[in-house]
Structure 1
Amino acid sequence: MASNKNKPNIKLLAMDVDGVLTDGGIIVHHDGTESKRFHVHDGAWIRIWRRQGLMTAIITGRECAAVEHRALSLEIDYVYQKALEKLPVLEQLIENSGV
């Protein structure tokens, strides 16, 4: 059995969206709505992370309904959109969540 002695004590996975959970492209439809292309492998690993009882957060500078839908399907704990300054959002999240 592997030792947990050197295992990091990470409790929160905080991610951006564009270029991190997507290929970086944004599809703008004729009505102004946007689409993003997410990779299923990222979703699978996020689900594995969640099954371990660990928290997840998305902090992104843009706002898009596709992000809300994806976050809901992956049971992301916290979603912050239109967060142009991500560090203060992350610091507040850490303080509020107790991680």
Structure 2
Amino acid sequence: MGMNQERLMQVILAPIVSEKSTMIAEKTQQVAFRVATDATKGEIKAAVELLFNVKVAGVSTVSVKGKVKRFGRTMGRRKDTKKAYVSLVPGQEFDLTATAAE
């Protein structure tokens, strides 16, 4: 793919570590990431393959609307975010701690 490597480094913001994402990871070989709101599925796939050296079977994305929160006496709104659930090819292992240590 002729995608800009610099852009791919900015696509994935953080892994989502929660009870729900951990349960999904164990059951279905999927990993959850918080990604840039303008990221496409193709970019997410390329970024995960580049950063973690794994083969990606598919990508599902979810746009999450920011909650309305109170800041002092004014009402404000949190930013909209985007989650990506990345499915791995069977037989692939995904270890966040090993790649973070490198």
Query: TM-score w.r.t. structure 1 length?
Result: 0.25
Query: TM-score w.r.t. structure 2 length?
Result: 0.24
Structure with greater proportional strand content: 2
